[in-house]
């Protein structure tokens, strides 16, 4: 072999090596993470035109990121469906006032989310009160199964599943959960009139909890584990106006003790001196120690960082799976602001629309696929009636016959109460011959709260032949509520 031939062979070996590595990283890694290859994005495939329930752009979640993505999807006339998820409206529905929404001085969290939804719906986004329970991203169209049993075939997905509160993992936390331990002051503060309570955390959420509680509790102690608070100065300033809020630095909660089945006292430790103290007569523990991303649904299918946040590609909102985009708290460990989530949601909506167009989705294809599109069953669920007084309740009982009545005690600003609304509508429709659900606004119907001893919200009281047969303070999914009703309605 002469020297030129040798060089040529070496060069070819290096070239094939590089190409081989490239192919491995593009497709080998894709396979590992369950990605499809672009060659499978084929709108000519006759198999596409055989089954119903196609969704061109599916949005998972209904917080600011999701509804902004939906707005941009729907506005460009791509058929867009929003699965609202287990907390419709997302975390802002549990926020009293938003004061940092650009161009709006002050607005209630739930109000701004209502506007988000109405605007996206006005452009044609279809809102569905259901949650994704299983996702298969290994084949395209992607498969998404829902809690109500639907199986959707999806071309492009936006993941806006947000984040859930973090817990401390200390003794007593789970035992007294819902019995004094909670993450929602806006829901439970009214039940702590004249009590001593503690708030754990030093961020904006903790300040919000303390402010809400200060109107009801005798004393609110904020436990900050270090000697600095993470909350913004403007939020901390608001605390100065509350005489009954005390910030206790360098202090961590180590145990929650009970008294008559509810929170009664706590153990704390000074994180600097390690001195331990018992605090008596504490009736409420409000956790506000940050959040963790909701990414369990996509385990081993979408690349995440070590904490579980979805990784994005550069300045785009694309995930490791082609056609799957994300924004908001599920992918943003840094900013965690509704405004940033909305902006990134817009980027994701545009990214999805552009991506669909790149793979050949256009008006002509949409027209051909129209008969196979998923059609949400809008308005087919029974409407749940409200009772606002004992007199109104008595009227329903008179006509209930053998039916089980379930009183759902709620307040308007309680996110877990709101998450139960689609559940009771669905179960109420499925078992309409057996059960009557009645909503009771605990901030209005004081006589019913007293009569049925509702200790907090949400709270369900099951009544048969005018007798209380069961009660529960659990947030339930559809299957759990279905079995609760079946158990007591027979």
Instruction: Give the integer Cα–Cα distance in Å for 344 and 350.
Output: 10
Query: Is residue 489 within 8 Å of 435, Cβ to Cβ?
Result: yes
Binding of ligand NDP at residue 201 (CB under 6 A)? Answer: yes
**CB closer to ligand NDP out of 165 and 264:** 165
Burial (CB count within 10 angstroms: exposed 0-12, middle 13-18, buried 19+), residue 13? exposed
Binding of ligand NDP at residue 94 (CB under 6 A)? Answer: no
Binding of ligand NDP at residue 203 (CB under 6 A)? Answer: yes
DSSP conformation class of 328 = G
Q: How far is CA 454 from CA 179, 304, 460, in A?
A: 12, 42, 8
Question: Which position's Cβ is nearest ligand NDP?
Answer: 203
Binding of ligand NDP at residue 204 (CB under 6 A)? Answer: yes
Task: Give the binding range for ligand NDP (CB under 6 A) out of 66-74, 133-141, 199-207, 263-271.
Answer: 199-207
Residues in CB range of 434: below 8 A, 6 or more apart: 403, 404, 485, 486, 489, 490
Minimum CB separation of residue 478 from ligand NDP in Å reads 29
Q: Which of 130, 188, 344, 441 is catalytic?
A: 188
**CB closer to ligand NDP out of 291 and 381:** 291
Instruction: Give the integer Cα–Cα distance in Å for 193 and 429.
Output: 38
Instruction: Give the integer Cα–Cα distance in Å for 229 and 354.
Output: 42
Minimum CB separation of residue 166 from ligand NDP in Å reads 6
Angle at 366 (CA atoms; ends 364, 367), nearest 5 degrees: 65
**Helices and strands of the chain, counted as H and E runs:** 13, 24
Residue whose C-alpha is closest to residue 74's, from 58, 61, 62:
58
Minimum CB separation of residue 268 from ligand NDP in Å reads 11
**CB closer to ligand NDP out of 266 and 321:** 266
Query: Is residue 50 within 8 Å of 337, Cβ to Cβ?
Result: no
Q: Which of 141, 190, 202, 428 binds ligand NDP (CB under 6 A)?
A: 202
**CB closer to ligand NDP out of 292 and 346:** 292
Q: Is 188 a catalytic residue?
A: yes
Binding of ligand NDP at residue 182 (CB under 6 A)? Answer: no
Q: Report the C-alpha dihedral over residues 116, 117, 119, 123, rounded to 10 degrees.
A: 140
Binding of ligand NDP at residue 230 (CB under 6 A)? Answer: yes
Binding of ligand NDP at residue 248 (CB under 6 A)? Answer: no
Minimum CB separation of residue 178 from ligand NDP in Å reads 20
Q: Which of 184, 204, 332, 441 is catalytic?
A: 184
Block residue for tokens 């169209």: 141
Instruction: Give the integer Cα–Cα distance in Å for 157 and 70.
Output: 10
Q: Is 332 a catalytic residue?
A: no
**Which residues, numbered 344-403, are part of the site for ligand NDP (CB under 6 A)?**
none
Minimum CB separation of residue 35 from ligand NDP in Å reads 31
Instruction: Give the integer Cα–Cα distance in Å for 256 and 170.
Output: 8
Minimum CB separation of residue 375 from ligand NDP in Å reads 37
Binding of ligand NDP at residue 473 (CB under 6 A)? Answer: no
Minimum CB separation of residue 62 from ligand NDP in Å reads 18
**CB closer to ligand NDP out of 28 and 339:** 339
Q: What string marks each residue from 155 to 174 as x (binds ligand NDP by CB under 6 A) or -?
A: -------------x------
Burial (CB count within 10 angstroms: exposed 0-12, middle 13-18, buried 19+), residue 355? buried
Q: Is 227 a catalytic residue?
A: no
Instruction: Give the integer Cα–Cα distance in Å for 433 and 374.
Output: 28
Q: Which of 92, 185, 217, 289 binds ligand NDP (CB under 6 A)?
A: 289
Q: Which of 115, 130, 187, 417 is catalytic?
A: 187
Instruction: Give the integer Cα–Cα distance in Å for 333 and 345.
Output: 15
**CB closer to ligand NDP out of 230 and 471:** 230
DSSP conformation class of 297 = G
Minimum CB separation of residue 282 from ligand NDP in Å reads 16
Strand partners, 197: 220, 284
**CB closer to ligand NDP out of 135 and 263:** 263
Instruction: Give the integer Cα–Cα distance in Å for 334 and 340.
Output: 10
**CB closer to ligand NDP out of 100 and 265:** 100
By the criterion CB under 6 A, which residues form the site for ligand NDP?
95, 98, 100, 168, 200-206, 208, 225-226, 230, 252, 288-291, 336-337
* Residues with active-site annotation: 184, 187-188
């Amino acid at each position: 072999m002469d020297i030129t031939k040798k060089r040529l062979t070496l060069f070819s070996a290096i070239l094939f090596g590089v190409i081989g590595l490239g192919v491995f990283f593009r497709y080998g890694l894709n396979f590992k993470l369950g990605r499809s290859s672009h060659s499978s994005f084929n709108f000519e495939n006759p198999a596409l035109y055989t089954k119903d329930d196609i969704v061109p752009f599916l949005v998972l979640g209904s917080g600011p990121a999701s509804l902004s993505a939906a707005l941009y999807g729907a506005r460009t006339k791509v058929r867009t469906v929003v699965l609202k998820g287990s907390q419709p409206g997302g975390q802002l529905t549990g926020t009293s006032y938003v004061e940092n929404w650009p161009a709006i001085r002050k607005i209630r969290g739930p109000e701004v989310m209502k506007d988000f939804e109405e605007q996206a719906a006005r452009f044609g986004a279809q809102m569905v009160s259901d949650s994704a329970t299983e996702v298969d991203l290994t084949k395209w169209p992607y498969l998404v199964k829902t809690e109500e049993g639907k199986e959707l075939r999806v071309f492009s997905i936006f993941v806006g599943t947000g984040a859930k509160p973090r817990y401390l993992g200390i003794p007593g936390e789970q035992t007294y959960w819902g019995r004094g331990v909670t993450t929602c002051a806006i829901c439970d503060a009214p039940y702590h009139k004249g009590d001593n309570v503690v708030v754990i955390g030093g961020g904006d959420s903790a300040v919000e909890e303390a402010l809400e509680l200060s109107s009801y509790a005798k004393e609110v102690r904020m436990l900050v584990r270090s000697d600095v608070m993470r909350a913004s100065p403007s939020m901390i300033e608001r605390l100065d106006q509350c005489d009954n809020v005390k910030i206790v630095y360098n202090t961590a909660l180590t145990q929650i003790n009970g008294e008559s089945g509810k929170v009664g006292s706590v153990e704390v430790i000074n994180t600097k001196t390690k001195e331990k103290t018992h605090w008596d007569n504490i009736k409420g523990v409000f956790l506000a120690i940050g959040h963790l991303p909701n990414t369990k649904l996509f385990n081993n299918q979408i690349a995440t960082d070590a904490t579980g946040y979805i990784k994005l590609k550069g300045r785009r909102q694309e995930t490791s799976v082609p056609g799957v985009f994300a924004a908001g708290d599920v992918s943003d460990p840094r900013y965690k602001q509704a405004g940033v989530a909305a902006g990134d949601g817009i980027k994701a909506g545009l990214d999805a629309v552009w991506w669909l167009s790149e793979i050949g989705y256009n008006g002509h294809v949409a027209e051909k696929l129209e008969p196979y599109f998923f059609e949400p069953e809008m308005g087919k669920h029974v409407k749940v009636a409200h009772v606002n007084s004992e007199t109104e309740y008595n009227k329903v009982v008179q006509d209930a016959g053998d039916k089980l009545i379930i009183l759902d005690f709620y307040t308007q600003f309680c996110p877990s109460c709101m998450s139960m609304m689609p559940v009771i509508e669905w179960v109420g429709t499925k078992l309409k011959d057996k059960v009557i659900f009645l909503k009771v606004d605990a901030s209005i119907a004081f006589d019913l709260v007293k009569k049925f001893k509702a200790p907090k919200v949400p709270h369900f009281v099951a009544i048969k032949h005018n007798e209380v047969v069961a009660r529960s303070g659990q947030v339930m999914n559809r299957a759990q509520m279905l079995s609760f009703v079946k158990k007591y309605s027979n």
